[in-house]
Amino acid sequence: MAGSLRLEQLLRRIGTRTIVDHLDLTVAGGDCLALLGPSGCGKSSILRLIAGLDWPDAGRILLAGRDITTLPPVRRQVGMVFQSYALYPHLSVARNLSLGMEMRGVARATIERELDRVLALLQLDELRGRRPADLSGGQRQRVALARALLRRPQVFLLDEPMSNLDAQLREELRPQLRTILCGGSAPVVYVTHDQQEAMGIADRIAVLRDGRLQQCGTPQQLYEQPANAFVARFIGRPEINLLPQPDGSLLGVRPEHLHPVAEGGIAARLLSREWHGASQQLLLSTSYGPLRWVCNGDQPVEAELRLGWEPRRVHRFDGRSGLRLPD
């Protein structure tokens, strides 16, 4: 029976470098948690610890109340989807999917029933006789996911599963992937460096930096109440404007929350413009430094103007620690 996944004070070092720094996280059954952060922040290392491919230097991993910290991978009931898909190139889709069940001694009738179920679920039935080289990137990604589903795991682990796909295909597959992953009772841990992907798929997002958890919450919580300046910069595109203040604090204003004002605000001069159809992104010069502004695509913009914001839209951070200051 699937249950929650708990990471308690998880520590992983390589030499003198701390890769995962006393991490505490919980993922409930049926929930999807995205691990998000820049390269080298520890995302994939956390996945390897959960899968049993590496062992922690300290801490515990609990799955459905069972301590699996030192169990070998084969005893963890983990379904993992790799960035490279890891399919056997000489085998058909059906054989790639059935081989694991055959090796576990599953009865032929059960194999066929399970194979029909997962091929139908992922719309792969017509491709069962093809080899990986004859499939598109999106199709290979679905085959890799199907193989994980066939294990009926207690936890799903996905390591940048769509990073090899183009942007349009990632956008098309995102809702399908969320429906499939979040429709069961197993916890899901999804590693990505793409914040749009994380916000579109995950119930909650854990933002990491140098192996340390910066904040964990829903996409809306991270966007509206970032715990520090790093999270504020990492969540939301274009990046938030951080304006230094006389008292040493940083004033955070998101580009989409700026608007022209007749007086007050900040004097700005237009440097460049990118048109995106329904919206336009502008870079402006101000006495505080560069300022990013996103407005309607058909809004006229003067070469020199003043920009303001609503007080409730402002974020304030400590200039040294980067921590959020009380509203």
Mean pLDDT, range 190-218, rounded to an integer: 94
| Cβ pair 284, 253 in contact under 8 A | no
Whole-number pLDDT of residue 81: 83
pLDDT in tens, 230-254: 999 999 989 999 999 999 999 999 9
- In whole angstroms, what is the distance from residue 101 CA to residue 83 CA? 22
| Cβ pair 223, 235 in contact under 8 A | yes
The larger pLDDT score, comparing residue 326 to residue 216, is at 216
Mean pLDDT, range 150-165, rounded to an integer: 84
Query: Does the pLDDT of residue 295 top 60, yes or no?
Result: yes
At residue 169 the predicted structure's pLDDT band, cuts being 50, 70 and 90, is confident
Q: Any residues with CB less than 8 A from the CB of 299 and at least 6 apart, and which?
A: 280
Domain 5-229 fold: Rossmann fold (3.40.50)
pLDDT in tens, 50-67: 999 999 999 999 999 999
Query: Does the pLDDT of residue 320 top 80, yes or no?
Result: yes
Whole-number pLDDT of residue 14: 93
Whole-number pLDDT of residue 2: 59
Query: Does the pLDDT of residue 24 top 80, yes or no?
Result: yes
Q: β-strands 32-36, 204-209: how paired?
A: parallel
Mean pLDDT, range 145-160, rounded to an integer: 86
| Cβ pair 236, 68 in contact under 8 A | no
Whole-number pLDDT of residue 82: 75
Mean pLDDT, range 10-17, rounded to an integer: 95
Asked if the 241-317 domain carries CATH number 3.40.50.1980, the reply is no
Q: What is the pTM of this model?
A: 0.88
Whole-number pLDDT of residue 57: 97
Whole-number pLDDT of residue 22: 97
Domain boundaries, the chain: 5-229, 241-317
Query: Does the pLDDT of residue 147 top 90, yes or no?
Result: no
Whole-number pLDDT of residue 1: 42
Residue 10: half-sphere exposure toward Cβ, Cα within 13 Å: 31
Mean pLDDT, range 257-271, rounded to an integer: 94
Q: Tokens for 32, please give them.
A: 């999807």
Mean pLDDT, range 120-134, rounded to an integer: 88
Mean pLDDT, range 113-138, rounded to an integer: 88
